[in-house]
Structure 1
């Protein structure tokens, strides 16, 4: 069994989730049950699906959860773009978040490729 906490990609995605929760505190309160909850859900879906995948027996099952995490990362990237266009996020914060998301996406993709080559 894999220990998800030891993976750098899980650590980065967890920090990204905390960052998303922090920045969404400044969003308009009427977005609480719309974009805020969607962004937060997409963010915590990345490390939580990765963690669940670590508990699976086969590399194929693990990779399936990595793919789900990767999909959530793409979804989160869109929400950051949308939030910026709606002026909920400053462009500097948005750029930082997108850099963090892209780093997580690259690491997830790389790990997925390694699993497929085993």
Structure 2
């Protein structure tokens, strides 16, 4: 089976893992958050690897860097939603810290990738 270039990126694989984690954690959120935080967190978590994948298909390094910026922004959006979820008592301190570590790892890798495209 052919692997596309984005599938070979560690950061994309990390982002897929994070999205899966978010889906699993939000299963336990209150039902009234179905169209609120659950939806927002799931969309922003899926947006990270989606933008990474789309960026690799772009022809110019400027376009590639732009999609890395979008992926980075989605990661910070997710972190904001995770902080709110912790404050509301929907996420334990342990789950919050685990997600925060994953987001930090992912954003560092996205920054490196973005800088690579900018300097190339």
C-alpha distance in structure 2 between counterparts of 1:68 and 1:114, whole Å: 16
**When the two structures are superposed, what TM-score results if normalisation uses the length of structure 2?**
0.95
- CA root-mean-square deviation: 0.8
C-alpha distance in structure 2 between counterparts of 1:113 and 1:3, whole Å: 18
Partner of 2:60: 58
> SS in structure 1 opposite 2:11?
helix
Point out where structure 1 has 5 or more consecutive residues left out of the alignment. none
Regions of 4+ moved over 4 Å: none
Partner of 2:98: 96
Aligned residues: 117
The Cα of 1:36 is off from its aligned counterpart by 0.3
Higher helix share: 1
> SS in structure 1 opposite 2:34?
helix
**When the two structures are superposed, what TM-score results if normalisation uses the length of structure 1?**
0.97
Point out where structure 2 has 5 or more consecutive residues left out of the alignment. none
